Amino acid sequence: MGAISGGFPGAWLPNGTSYEDHTDPTTQVCTSYYGTIVYTWKASNTAITNNSFTCVATDDVSITFWKKPTPNILTDPADSIACGLTYYNLMAEEPNEEITGYWYCSTTGVVFENSNYTETSVTVPHYGYYDFYWIEETGPELSPGFCTDTAGPYTVHFMEAPLANAGGDTYFCGLTGQLNAIPSIGIGTWSTSSTEYINFEDTNDPNTTITSTIINTENSDQPYFEVIWTENYTNGCTDADTIKVVFATASNSYSEQHSICEGEIYSWNEQDYTETGTYTAEFTNVYGCDSIITLNLTVNPLPEQVVVSQNPENGILPEGTSGGITIENSIAGTYYWVTMGGEIFTEEFAGTGSELSLGNNFTDGSYDIRSRNQFDCSLVQGIANFVTEVSGTNKIVANVSFGTPASNFPANHVNVKLYKATTNNETIVLVAEQLLSSNGQVEFTNLETGDYYLGSFIQYPDDYDVIEHIYYQTAVVHEDAISIPIAEETLFIANLHHVLIAESQGSNEMQGIVGATTNQKSLNPLKDMVVVLRNTDINEIIGVNVTNDNGQYHFTNITDNANIQAFVTSFEHQDWIAFEKETGVDQTYNINFIVDGTSIYPQVSGVFEDIQIQNIEFRVFPNPAKEVLYINCNVENAIVQIFDINGKLVQTDLTFSNSEINISDLVSGTYLIILSTDNGKTGIQKFVKQ
């Protein structure tokens, strides 16, 4: 206490607390409870002459008793290592009422998650040892730290923690693979729960070899394995990373042995091969497993060309007789036989190394003499034609062949037409037509005397890489056809041959939009516009395309290095401007056509020369038609091509100013009919086949 005596006796008045000496103004006091207690010091003076007379004085003082802090750190001293720069286990005893506490560290850069929480985490700037204190305090608000006590230090060792990286999920091709963990610090170890299937060559090697007893991609019960890479530094600092590994079906490298015959193409790995050699390709399956495939290709020779003779030599058989076919210098080891119309006519005869007869029972027909050598490669050695001579009639017999070496067409694959010149040779008219018969020939009998022409039209042009229509003998245009003079009792044997097209397919494309112009100078797409593509080198229509709902057209496989011409007709416009271009290789030509009033022209002004198309005015009737379509046109003769609405060529013919076409074989539907002449005139109409 701190009373000051005035020189007179005094005492502390009782108030429920204990005094060491209540008469001592500076005595010590003790109380059994906390809070503010009033203490009173009383002093008195008694008169000497009259001891009943006393003077008394008192003074009060208020003293507040605060509870003394008792800080206590509860963290287990054994748990004094932090893996990494953060320690999560700082714990102190909860302070008593009206006592606050906080964590403290003297090192700069230390950050507590919340320093006033008894349980908190702390992050330090560097690895090493750090001392932490828990400080509690209480007292008046104006005297912070009035009652203070500190627990600690609690020392924590911050150690660098490993960062496990197992390398990521992966596929292994086959039953063996190599793991690729990325080590950090400490000792790493591989482990798995699938120990019955998995084996590690060295569990502590981050790049160890791993093997499996099963293929996961072939085992639905075990689609993958989980393997774990665990790193342990010291004192329990560990980290682990788990990956999935799949042992996949491996692609096996192997070799292929193949053989082809000379002139054939072997397609392999999206490449065409025509020569003997060893070729390799790398393939990757869906699991990323690579394999090397080797192709050993052998190109075997064709049978040797031999001399074929027929008897009689001119092929004309007297009535009641048959002809013979002989190989004059047959090759031993090679087999020979005869076909007619694509069907086998004789058995096979083994070559003898000398003359070989193939029979003497050949009647009217066109025969292929075929051969096959020890490599099973075949070759048409030649064609023999026989016709029986009948007196008292005029007859033309047509034999039609194609390709190199020449082969006969199957029955019905060619339509042969006979034309006759008028008396003054001013016009030519169609007098008869026949499909190729099963004996490979077409006969026109009971003919009047005069000059005739023969035309051969392939019925299925997409099946052959040859000129689709020719005239006797190999003419592409009818102006070059050779006339056949027929006098009384004439038998004329005409051999027509469709020659190969050097490049029947190309690598170029053409596409675009056909549309009408608007005030905004944009195109309004037009449907059902007919785009015609012509090869001007051979003066043939090579494609027809009808625009779709978006006005689009598209041609593919356009011949390389050729002069082409494209133009558009809507069946209403009579004057067209064509796009003309010499093609390259692997080019795409984007050409739009503009319909502007009565004109149609390509949208390439100033780049290409405009080519004006001369039109053939013609009409077809009846329309619709069932079996026969009549044509009336303003030219003496023209090539007729009929395309279906998808642009596929279905029929080729020759027409004159007034003629008819047999369309009975066409299926019902809408067709485009195109007339074209050698001088570039073209006309197009549409008709419906019922």
The yes-or-no verdict on residue 571 having pLDDT over 60 is: no
Please confirm whether the linkage preceding 162 is cis (ω < 30° from 0): no
Determine the Cα angle at 122 with ends 118 and 125, to 5°. Answer: 160
Task: Judge: domain 390-498, CATH 1.10.260.40.
Answer: no
- CA–CA gap between residue 181 and residue 194 (Å, rounded): 19
The string of pLDDT tens digits covering residues 289-343 is: 878 889 999 999 999 999 999 999 989 999 899 999 999 999 999 999 999 988 8
Integer angstrom CA distances of residue 386 from 319, 395, 444, 617: 12, 14, 15, 44
Q: Which residues contact 446 (CB under 8 A, 6 or more apart)?
A: 393, 394, 395
The string of pLDDT tens digits covering residues 467-479 is: 777 788 777 656 5
Q: Closest Cα to residue 131, out of 109, 117, 102, 152? A: 152
Q: What is the pLDDT of residue 477?
A: 57
Q: Which residues contact 235 (CB under 8 A, 6 or more apart)?
A: 81, 157, 159
The string of pLDDT tens digits covering residues 152-165 is: 999 999 988 889 99
The string of pLDDT tens digits covering residues 425-448 is: 667 788 898 999 999 999 999 999
Neighbours of 562 (CB within 10 A): 19
Domain definitions of the chain by residue range: 10-65, 81-159, 170-248, 254-300, 308-387, 390-498, 508-613, 618-689
Mean pLDDT of the chain: 86
Q: Regarding the domain with residue range 618-689, which homologous superfamily does it belong to in the CATH classification?
A: Macroglobulin (MG2) domain (2.60.40.1930)
Mean pLDDT of 126-132: 94
Cα atoms in the 13 Å half-sphere on the side-chain side of 5: 12
* Residue 575 binned pLDDT confidence (cut-offs 50, 70, 90): low
Q: Regarding the domain with residue range 508-613, which homologous superfamily does it belong to in the CATH classification?
A: Immunoglobulins (2.60.40.10)
Top mean pLDDT of 203-207, 214-218, 625-629 is at 203-207
The yes-or-no verdict on residue 582 having pLDDT over 80 is: yes
Mean pLDDT of 445-454: 90
Q: Closest Cα to residue 529, out of 591, 577, 594, 579? A: 594
Do 308-387 and 618-689 fold alike per CATH?
Answer: yes
The yes-or-no verdict on residue 555 having pLDDT over 90 is: no
Fold classification of 308-387 is: Immunoglobulin-like (2.60.40)
The string of pLDDT tens digits covering residues 34-60 is: 889 999 999 988 766 666 777 888 999
Q: What is the pLDDT of residue 680?
A: 64
Mean pLDDT of 545-554: 81
The string of pLDDT tens digits covering residues 8-18 is: 888 999 999 99
Top mean pLDDT of 208-212, 617-621, 685-689 is at 208-212
The yes-or-no verdict on residue 423 having pLDDT over 80 is: no
Task: Judge: domain 81-159, CATH 2.60.40.
Answer: yes
Q: What is the pLDDT of residue 606?
A: 34
Q: Determine contact, residues 594/560, Cβ cutoff 8 Å.
A: no
Bridge partner list, 689: 625, 669
Q: Determine contact, residues 615/680, Cβ cutoff 8 Å.
A: no
The yes-or-no verdict on residue 205 having pLDDT over 90 is: yes
The yes-or-no verdict on residue 635 having pLDDT over 50 is: yes
The string of pLDDT tens digits covering residues 645-660 is: 666 778 877 776 678 8
The yes-or-no verdict on residue 613 having pLDDT over 90 is: no
170-248 maps to which CATH number?
2.60.40.10
- CA–CA gap between residue 116 and residue 287 (Å, rounded): 57
**Phi, psi (degrees; rounded to nearest 5) at 225:** -120, 145
* Residue 270 binned pLDDT confidence (cut-offs 50, 70, 90): confident
b/e map 627-654, b = 16+ CB within 10 Å: eebebebebebbbbbbbbeebebbbbbb
Mean pLDDT of 264-292: 87
Mean pLDDT of 252-281: 90
Mean pLDDT of 610-639: 76
- Greater confidence (627 vs 643) lies with 627
* Residue 398 binned pLDDT confidence (cut-offs 50, 70, 90): very high
